[in-house]
Chain A
Amino acid sequence: MLLTPNAMGRPLRLGLYLTTGAIAAFLLLPILFIVLLSFGSSQWLVFPPPGWTLKWYGQFFSNPEWMDAALASLKVAVLTTFTAVALGLPSAFALVRGRFPGRDLLYGLFTLPMIVPLVIIAVAVYALFLKLGYTGTLLAFVVSHVIVALPFTIISIINSLKLFDQSIEDAAVICGASRLQAIVKVTFPAIRPGMIAGGLFAFLVSWDEVVLSVMMASPELQTLPVKMWTTLRQDLTPVIAVASTLLIGLSLLIMIIAAALRRRNATNA
């Protein structure tokens, strides 16, 4: 009766719905607020805004510093995505298909970067690159982002590989394909949703990464979140609201793509 709304007492049901509405509003509040604010005309972020304007968008897109940061973010995120998928794919195969001992332990090792606090990874990797003299390089950004993106790609590839029936690949081998051919032509297309989802996660993780990036950044190379971070510490200018809105838009887009993929995957299965 606590899980069947019609059998639930009226006051209880009403109470639960009201609470839920309030919590859902709480979850949406900061997101909607920032989007509205980016169109508001007040320099001091007065709300409700006295008028509406695209001025801050103009400032964002005409400022080379913001543009360079956005471009750097994109570069780092794309490189991170491909590296993470390239490293994650063989590992996922080994973990799902292999019959060697300690697979659970190895899986644990691979997911450890998700568990260890980011600050600690950041400080440790910073120390390494400081010694090697690589801080502030593209390499430092990509390597540090791949560390945290890798668990996401491995997990989503493992999930779709577990759903794939290996006998289909074996059938291709029996029909005369080499094992590699069978994997590339039969298995890869079948697990593509997992690979794409893993790639999208990796992209989003890299695109939004603050802690590692702040540690790796140099005046010459900074990503969008680093530029936001340093600007935020000086003042709360509405241009940050513009950058935030663009980041929110991108997350929304990636979520929609991921949902579409999941739906297609569900109808295929």
Chain B
Amino acid sequence: MKVAINALHTAQGAAAGSGVPGATTRRPPLRQRWRGSRNLLPALLFLGLFFFAPLIGLLLRGVLEPVPGMGNYAQLFANSAYARVLFNTFSVAGLVTLISVLLGFPLAWAITLVPKGWGRWLLNIVLLSMWTSLLARTYSWLVLLQASGVINKALMAIGVIDAPLEMVHNLTGVVIGMSYIMIPFIVLPLQATMQAIDPMVLQAGSICGASPWTNFVRVFLPLCRSGLFSGALMVFVMSLGYYVTPALLGGAQNMMLPEFIVQQVQSFLNWGLASAAAALLVAITLVLFYFYLKLQPESPVGNAR
């Protein structure tokens, strides 16, 4: 049946005198080259009007307000308080990436390893945590980590600590909350990579005399690399731009870049400085995202046919 339809398709294409590769070497006329692109117009118009135009407008304010020039950027890097914000942003994002990789790796490994039913349950837990309301999870951590919270009480009850640890309204809280949120974004790509590894390759390694450790470091880790890198890069990029969790779990002293931008806009109405910071964040994000795309093996819209 399918073969017949394919044949029909080809026959129709040939009859129309187009579409069949090699039938003609001439470049198709311009109108035909852009055939079907008209359908993009509604979405392009929408994004152009409400996303690209405001975004470009915002980025321009960084060099135009209050006076044209690079003043805002100079201020951003020269002022030690602002430099501190940049430092916080990068160190928190780096730490969050590290912790979520360390926690996500064993989980992805176990999901690949255990019998299928168990694996599906573990995967469902990861998905549930990912799709549960961000505010709900952050609120939960706020309650869990507070001075009179369950975690401090439990630690004091078993005698690990004498006085409650300060785990919220500072960067510790931000790192805990964000690592929790980012784990699924490591597990999902990493697990897909691990699933694709042929267990026989590892078997071969051990038959050839590799110790489990050598096998892990020299065979298994290199095979996981693409999933690990793309997951980690994605988490780092997302962490740089996160607002909700740092704003609720963090303190007023140690801000991150996104909070800084909102504060400049809402409290100080300093659009110039906010825009310069925003441009910086966008530039870093796009550069890192470019590397992320380089790691992806195939074109997202390429046809399977």
Mark A residues whose CB is within 8 Å of B.
Answer: 1-5, 7-9, 12, 16-17, 19-20, 23-24, 26-31, 33-34, 37, 44-45, 47, 86-88, 90-91, 93-101, 103-104, 106-110, 112-113, 115-128, 143-144, 146-147, 150, 154-155, 158, 162-163, 165-168, 170-171, 174, 204, 208, 210-211, 225, 228-229, 232, 236, 240-241, 243-245, 247-248, 251-252, 254-255
Contacts and interface: CB of A to CB of B under 8 A. Distances in A.
B301 A96 contact: yes
B212 A2 contact: yes
Interface stretch (B75-83, B157-165, B281-289): B281-289
Interface of B: 2, 5-6, 8-9, 12, 33-44, 46-47, 50-51, 53-55, 57-58, 61, 103, 106-107, 109-110, 112-114, 122, 125-129, 131-137, 139-144, 146, 148-150, 180, 183, 194, 197, 199, 202-203, 205-206, 212, 215-216, 219-220, 237, 240-244, 248, 258, 261-262, 265, 271, 274, 278, 281-282, 285-286, 289, 293, 299-301, 303-305
Tell me the interface secondary structure of chain B in the complex.
Answer: helix
B243 A211 contact: yes
B4 to A, nearest CB: 9
Contacts of B40: 90-91, 94-95, 98, 106
A115 B237 contact: yes
Contacts of A30: 137, 140-141, 144, 180
Contacts of A117: 240-243, 258, 281-282, 285
A17 B140 contact: no
Contacts of B216: 2
A113 B282 CA distance: 11
Contacts of B135: 208, 210, 225, 228-229, 232, 244, 247
Contacts of B132: 31, 247-248, 251
B103 A170 contact: no
B261 A26 contact: no
Contacts of B50: 125, 128, 143-144, 146-147
Nearest to B284: A117
Contact of A174 (B12, B34, B146, B219): B12
Contacts of A107: 300-301
A126 B240 CA distance: 21
Given A2-B216, A30-B137, A94-B40, 8 more contacts: A3-B202, A30-B140, A30-B144, A90-B42, A117-B243, A119-B241, A123-B262, A248-B136
A99 B128 contact: no
Tell me the interface secondary structure of chain A in the complex.
Answer: helix
Given A120-B58, A128-B57, A162 B304 contact: yes
B69 to A, nearest CB: 20
The listed residue with most B CB atoms (<10 A of its CB), out of A88, A143, A210, is A210
A88 B36 contact: no
B43 A154 contact: yes
Contacts, number: 293
A167 B8 contact: yes
Nearest to B53: A128
A261 to B, nearest CB: 14
A255 B128 contact: yes
Contacts of B262: 119, 122-123
Contact of B244 (A104, A162, A210): A210
Can you list the 4 inter-chain pairs with the closest CB atoms, starting with the nearest?
A: A117-B241, A244-B136, A98-B36, A30-B140
B133 A251 contact: yes
A3 B203 CA distance: 9
B299 A104 contact: yes
A254 B130 CA distance: 13
Contact of A118 (B42, B126, B241): B241
Contacts of B35: 98-100
14 contacts: A4-B199, A19-B106, A28-B125, A34-B136, A90-B43, A93-B39, A98-B37, A110-B47, A113-B47, A120-B278, A166-B305, A204-B131, A211-B244, A251-B133
A158 B301 contact: yes
B5 A170 contact: yes
A45 B144 CA distance: 10
Given A1-B212, A147-B47, A24 B57 contact: no
A249 B212 CA distance: 43
A104 B299 CA distance: 7
Contacts of B274: 123
A89 to B, nearest CB: 9
A115 B244 contact: no
B64 to A, nearest CB: 13
A91 to B, nearest CB: 4
